[in-house]
Amino acid sequence: MVISVKLKNENQIEVAVSTTCAEITKKISSGLAKEALAAEINGKVVDITTTVNADCSLNVITFNDEAGKKVLRHTASHVLAQAIKKLYPKVKLAIGPAIENGFYYDVDSDLPFSSDDLGKMETEMKGIIKQNLALERFELPREEALKLVEQLNEPYKAALIKELPDNEPITFYRQGDFIDLCAGPHLPNTGMIKAIKLTSCTGAYWGGDSKNKMLQRIYGTAFTKQSELNAYLTAVEEAKKRDHRKIGKELDLFSIDEYIGQGLILWHPKLSVVREEIEFYWRKEHRRRGYEYIYTPHIGQSNLWETSGHLDHFAEGMYPPMKMAAKDEEENTNYYVKPMSCPFHVRMYKTRPRSYRELPIRWCELGSVYRFEKSGTLHGMLRVRGFTQDDAHIVCTEDQFVNEVNSVLDFALDMNKAFGYDKLNVYLSVRDPQDNEKYLANEPVWQLAESTLEKILSDREIVFKKDIGGAKFYGPAIDLKAVDAMGREWQGTTIQLDMNLPERFGMTYIGSDGKEHTPIMLHRTLLGSMERFVGTLIEHYAGAFPLWLAPVQVKILAISEKNHEYANKVLKILRNEDIRVEIDDRSEKIGYKIREAQLGKVPYMLILGDKEQNENVVAVRNRKNGETIVMSIEEFRSLISGEIFYKR
């Protein structure tokens, strides 16, 4: 059964309910819950998202919810398909799901679509929306469903039906004279889509397999208000300006050389300075908080990864093994480049017996790891195959566990703030109960682990969301996602409880009772991978790094050749204070030099002419506001040193 519910200040949206919910359906349809987010069920007022009993569950979603946006955009993809079929009847339809911030539809067409074609499709879509066509759901037996799609001449739909399990219902949606295979749900009618935009067209293999035919993928987005669409398109344009790949090229920060390999970053000198500053700060703070640095190899024998479980649970993300020639029986084995450092840390722990008096042990490493990400997922510095992770492992007793998690949370908040991320969205990553095969089987430990992490967040009054299915195969996690200047989330800090390695590797410590015990192990990163973190910083600051991170902190601009000697004097004074300073003594006009330094995102410019030289002062131009203030060299040195110290 499908009903529609009108909520206060919200548009109407489709709601699927069980047929056993007839009485609730009747009450809601009669208007009881039309003006509030609550309903009277069994004589009790409850939130209408509440599960009443095993046979009756009512779930209402609005356009403010992610699920609501998905329904809206999924419906828009059907409108796109209808428009395409009207304009180009010979086109064959494949799939058209909703995705983050929009939707797409894959189609098989002999005609390569241009931007003009997208414009025609968009115009046709708006016409369909104005018709306010109802979306009607119907179900067919398998043979009748296949017969229908064959009559519609849709071979890709037939292939999809044949892949469905025998016991799965085969559903279609009709809007006007257009019919599409789909599980739904959808909006009640097309008129509820108030704003749409087709954004691009790319290629995509059918089924994501390069052995199959290349289809055309048409992307678009949809909103309930034109103002929301306008704001989104503005944000997209701003994101293009901030794209770290574009800025990286403009500022000569990094490169990716296909001759070397996809997903492998070359850090150019300027960005290497940024990384150096981050690592220096990272090391200093870890020392201060009781961590010890360690170093581990880049490769390990197959038995290491067999014991850890990575070859069982993570093999698809690992590079193929390096088979050693059997010249020496001792080396007749396989080696793998490491996808993570955890097993090395565990083996180091096991080099000798450990006492409870040593715990907690906090070991950290800036370890380079390698994961074979699919080429289609690679994205500049944000998704790579080789990266350096700010890894750490904490081994502790059960009594120390909660304190250690809280200490990591404090550390994470402080470190993110230092880099300008004042807002963090917090997630509790737990298992997906529908996919138990993905996780290690130990129900009591899972329940205890998930509930303990949830209690830690609740006790600190930290607002969080549950990420169902976000847990790793070896345990749940607390994830902190940094929100950048554009409101986008970036995965950074993660605190993962490992219920796998201590048992697999037989980690123990001697307790105060003189007996062996299995310790608690935490995986922890604060920044994530250095590549992704710096890539997000580039976009967060649009390349204009704060002073303490800027590759060049000061640019000295000599107005004429007569001022070169004085410029070099100032240069020497600042360099003696470890300030990153460069001099521009080219015979160019000063306006040109200022513009180049501004485009280079240099925080401070010192403009030196005859007046400054004669008075032994500097004219300081600030990148942020473009103002120029005259001060002594010592005043400027003190100003900039203070800003660097306080990480501004």
Which CATH number belongs to the domain containing residue 215 in this structure? 3.30.980.10
Q: Are residues 442 and 531 in the same domain?
A: yes
Check: CB of residue 360 under 8 Å from CB of residue 400. Answer: yes
Query: Which residues form the domain of 184?
Result: 66-239
Q: Is residue 300 part of a domain?
A: no
Is the pLDDT confidence value at 435 over 90? no
d(CA 491, CA 502): 26
Which two tokens mark 548? 């303490």
State residue 436's pLDDT score.
67
Q: Does residue 10 surpass a pLDDT of 60? A: no
Taking the alpha carbons at both ends of the chain, their separation in whole angstroms is: 58
Please give the model's pTM, rounded to 2 decimal places.
Answer: 0.79
Provide the CATH number for the domain around residue 597.
3.40.50.800
Going 31 to 32 to 36 to 38, the CA torsion angle's sign is negative
In-domain check, residue 29: yes
Q: How many domains does the chain have?
A: 4
Mean pLDDT within 591-612: 96
Percent over 70 (pLDDT), the chain: 88
Determine if residue 201 is labeled as part of a ligand binding site. no
Taking alpha carbons only, the member of 129, 127, 134, 122 closest to residue 175 is 134
Pairing of strands 334-337, 322-323: antiparallel
Tell me, yes or no, whether 517 and 402 share the same domain. Answer: yes
Mean pLDDT of 598-624: 95
Q: Do 526 and 436 share a structural domain? A: yes
Among candidates 297, 343, 265, which has minimal Cα distance to 533? 265
pLDDT of residue 12: 38
Same domain, 210 and 105: yes
The pLDDT of residue 244 is 95
DSSP 330: G
The CATH number for 529's domain is: 3.30.930.10
As given in the structure block, the two tokens for residue 588 are 């160019």
Whether 84 and 175 map to the same domain: the answer is yes
Calculate the CA 31 to chain-centre distance: 41
pLDDT single digits (tens) 574-589: 999 999 999 999 999 9
Q: Is residue 304 situated within a structural domain? A: no
One domain, residues 83 and 40: no
> Quick check: 358 pLDDT over 50?
yes
Rounded Cα distance between 588 and 597, Å, is: 13
Residue range 258-284, pLDDT digits in tens: 999 999 999 999 999 999 999 999 999
89 shares its domain with 212:
yes
140 and 75 inside one domain: yes
Residues 222 and 364 in one domain: no
Q: Is 244 labeled as ligand-binding?
A: no
Residues 6+ apart with CB under 8 A from 242: 485, 486, 538, 539, 540, 542, 543
- Tell whether the model's pLDDT for residue 572 goes beyond 60: yes
Across the range 301-329, mean pLDDT stands at: 83
For the chain, what percent of residues have pLDDT higher than 90? 67
User: 258 in a domain, yes or no?
Assistant: no
Residue 346 lies in a domain: no
* pLDDT tens-digit readout, 207-264: 888 889 999 999 999 998 899 999 989 988 998 999 999 999 999 999 999 999 999 9
Report phi then psi at 70, rounded to 5.
-65, -40
* pLDDT tens, residue by residue, 505-549: 999 999 999 999 999 999 999 998 999 999 999 999 999 999 999
| Alpha-carbon distance values, 247 to 16, 378, 419 (Å) | 47, 18, 19
pLDDT of amino acid 505: 92
The 3-class SS string of 380-392 reads CCCECCEEEEEEE
Q: Does 393 count as an annotated binding residue?
A: yes
Judge whether 289 and 394 are in contact, CB under 8 Å: no
Q: Let me know whether 498 and 577 are in one domain.
A: no
Local confidence band at 47 (pLDDT 50, 70, 90 cut-offs): very low
136 and 223 in a single domain? The answer is yes
Please tell me the chain's helix, strand, coil percentages from 3-state DSSP, rounded to the nearest 5: 40, 30, 35
526 and 571 inside one domain: no
Residue 272 lies in a domain: yes
